[in-house]
Amino acid sequence: MNKYVAGISLLLALLAGCSEKQGSGATSESPPDIAAGKALAQTKCAGCHGMDGRGVKDGIPNLAAQVESYLLKAIQTYDHGKRVGSSGDAMNITKELNPDQLRNVLGYYASLQPLPNLANMSAQYSYYDRGEELSKPCAPCHGIGGNPSSAGLPRLAGQHPQYLIKTATRIYQDGASSMPPMHEALTGLSQADLSNIAIYFALNKPQPAPGKTGNPYEGKQFANECIKCHGATGSGDESGTPNLAGQDVKYLSVMIKAYRDKVREHGPMHKALSGLKDREIEKVAVFFAAEQPTQIAFTPPEPIVDLAQKCDRCHSLASPNPEMLAPKLNGQNRNYLIKAMTAYRNGDRESSAMHKVSSILYFDATIEGIATYYSAQAAK
Ligand code: HEC
Ligand code: HEC
Ligand code: HEC
Ligand code: HEC
C-alpha cells in the first residue's frame, strides 16, 4: 500500500470518528493472519460455521468467500444490537475476541474457496404454478381456480390477495369460529404457501356464483353504507376489503349476519350493519350477488429472475463498495436468506439500503422465491 492511500484512509478514519463505519474496510491495517484465524475458527466458530465455512445446520449462514469487510460490519451490527432475535445470542461468542483476533478469524473465512452447492435445487419459482399446485386441496369446496361450482361457498377467484392471506391466517390461527372443520386443508401451509395460493386466486378470472340470486333492486337501498367501502358494484380497489360482487347469495347473508351479530369481528363495519333486520340483509345479499364480478387491479410481484437483477446491482459487485458493504448472496443457505429478508421487512434488522427494498418483500412467497433462487446459484 502506498503512503498516499494510507494517508487518505487515516483521514477518512478520523473523519468517521466513532461512527458506524469505523473499522469496516479499513485499508490501513496489515493483512489478517490467516493461520492464527484458522486456529481460532477451530475452537470458536467451527461448531456452527464449519471449517469450510458452511453453516452446519439449516439457518446458519455460510461464511466461505464472503466479502471480508462485510463480515466485520455484520459482527459490529450484532454488537450494536441492530440484529436481534435468538441468533443474536449465538453470536455473543465474538465478544470474547479482541479486534485483531476477530480480523484474523474473519480473514480466514473470507479466504476460503466458494462452496459447491449441496442440493441440486432449481432456481425456478413461479407464484402462479405453485399456487395452482398448493390450492388443489381447496378445489373440492372453492372450485378449481377458486370459482366454486356449488352454492353456499365463497368464491376466492379475483379476491384481493392481501385480504385472502389475512382471512386464511385468521381461520388457521384462531381456528376461527364459523368455519374450522373444513379447513384442515390450511394446516401445514406456510405463509409463503398461502401467499402463492392468494396470488394464484387473485389472478384467476372471477365467475358469477352458480346459485340463483333473485331481484337485486329491493336490496339496493340497504347498500348505501356498504358501497362506501366495498365499491359501488361490490368490487373495490381497497386491498383489505373483500369484493362482494357475484359472490354466493347464501354465503353473503350468513356472513353479513355473522358480522352484525359480532360473531365475526370487524369494528368499522358493525356500525353500518347494526339495526339491519334479517330480511334486509337477505335483500342486500341478493343485490351484491347479482352484480357482475370484475377482475381486480392487482399487479403480481415481478418474476424472481428479473427482481434478482435489481438486487445484483449491490450484491454482485466485482469489488465491494466500501460505502455500502453488501454481502454475496449466491450459494447462501436458503433458510438463512429467508430469515434475513424477513428480519429486514419486519424491522428486526436495520439497514437503510435494505429498508428501501423491503416493500418488494411484502409477500412471503417473494422472500421464499428469492432465497430459492440465490441458494441455487453457484457461490463466487
Ligand atoms: C452457536 C453457533 C454459532 C457460533 C459458535 C458462531 N456463530 Fe456466527 N452465526 C450463527 C448464526 C445462527 C448466525 C445468523 C444470525 C442471524 O440470523 O442474524 C451467525 C452469523 C454470523 C455472521 C453474519 C453473517 C452474515 O452473512 O451476515 C458472521 C460474520 C459470523 N456469524 C461469524 C462468526 C464467527 C467469526 C464466529 C466465531 C468467532 C461465529 N460466528 C460463531 C451462529 C454461530
Ligand atoms: C371442505 C370444504 C373446504 C375446503 C377444502 C376449503 N375451504 Fe375454505 N371455506 C369453506 C367454507 C364453507 C367457507 C365459508 C365459511 C363460513 O361459512 O364461515 C370457507 C371460507 C374460506 C375463506 C374466507 C373467505 C372470505 O371471503 O372471507 C378463505 C380465505 C378460505 N376458505 C381459504 C381456503 C383455502 C386457501 C383452502 C385450501 C388450502 C380452503 N379454504 C379449503 C370450505 C372449504
Ligand atoms: C367501513 C368500511 C366497511 C363498511 C361500511 C362495510 N364493510 Fe363489509 N367489510 C369491510 C372489511 C374491511 C371487511 C373484511 C373484514 C375482515 O377482515 O373480517 C368486510 C367484510 C365483509 C363481508 C365478508 C366477505 C367475505 O368474502 O367473507 C361481507 C359479506 C360484507 N363485508 C358485507 C357488507 C355489507 C352488506 C355492508 C353494508 C351493510 C358492509 N359490508 C359495510 C369493510 C366495510
Ligand atoms: C442499494 C444496494 C442494495 C440493493 C439494491 C439490495 N441490497 Fe440487500 N443488502 C445491501 C446491504 C448494504 C446489505 C448489508 C446490510 C446489513 O449490514 O445488514 C444487504 C444485505 C442483504 C441480505 C443479508 C445477507 C446476509 O448475509 O446477512 C440479504 C438476504 C439481502 N440483502 C437481499 C437483497 C435482495 C433480495 C435484494 C433485491 C430485492 C437486495 N438485497 C437489494 C444492499 C442492497
Q: Whose CA is nearest to atom 27 of ligand 1?
A: 74
Residue 289 CA to residue 253 CA, distance in Å, equals 10
Question: 98 is written with which cell numbers?
Answer: 479482541
Given a contact cutoff of 8 angstroms between Cβ atoms, the answer to whether 318 and 40 are in contact is no
CA of 341 to the centre of ligand 4 (A): 8
**Cell 387473485 belongs to residue:** 202
Closest CA to 197 of 238, 164, 174: 164
26 in ligand 2 pocket by Cβ < 6 Å?
no
End-to-end C-alpha distance for the chain, whole angstroms: 26
CA of 64 to the centre of ligand 1 (A): 12
Q: Whose CA is nearest to atom 20 of ligand 4?
A: 326
Could you tell me the CA-to-CA distances from 156 to 1, 139, 164, 305, 356 in Å, in that order? 64, 10, 8, 28, 32
Q: Whose CA is nearest to atom 19 of ligand 2?
A: 154
Q: Choose the residue to mutate in 354, 363, 374 for probing ligand 4, maximizing ligand atoms within 8 Å of C-beta.
A: 354
Residue 246 CA to residue 223 CA, distance in Å, equals 15
Q: Which ligand is nearest to the CA of 177?
A: 2
Q: Whose CA is nearest to atom 41 of ligand 1?
A: 45
CA of 315 to the centre of ligand 4 (A): 7
153 in ligand 2 pocket by Cβ < 6 Å?
yes
Given a contact cutoff of 8 angstroms between Cβ atoms, the answer to whether 145 and 133 are in contact is no
Q: What is the pLDDT of residue 300?
A: 92
99-124 as b/e: b if 16+ CB within 10 A: eebbbbbbbbbbbbebbeeeeeeeee
Q: Whose CA is nearest to atom 33 of ligand 1?
A: 45
Q: Whose CA is nearest to atom 20 of ligand 1?
A: 61
Q: What is the pLDDT of residue 23?
A: 41
Question: pLDDT averaged over consecutive 10-residue blocks of the chain (380 residues)?
Answer: 38 35 50 97 96 96 96 84 64 87 97 89 91 94 93 94 90 57 74 96 93 85 93 91 94 93 82 92 96 92 95 91 92 96 91 90 97 95
Q: Choose the residue to mutate in 69, 76, 315, 362 for probing ligand 4, maximizing ligand atoms within 8 Å of C-beta.
A: 315
Q: Whose CA is nearest to atom 18 of ligand 4?
A: 351
Q: What is the pLDDT of residue 352?
A: 86
Residue 78 CA to residue 158 CA, distance in Å, equals 44
13 in ligand 2 pocket by Cβ < 6 Å?
no
182 in ligand 2 pocket by Cβ < 6 Å?
yes
- The ligand 1 site (C-beta within 6 Å) comprises 44-45, 47-49, 60-61, 63, 71, 74-75, 83, 87, 90-91, 93-94, 97, 105-106, 327, 339
Q: What is the pLDDT of residue 367?
A: 98
Q: Whose CA is nearest to atom 1 of ligand 2?
A: 182
**What sign does the dihedral 149-152-153-158 (CA atoms) show?**
positive
Residue 55 CA to residue 68 CA, distance in Å, equals 17
Q: Which ligand is nearest to the CA of 164?
A: 2
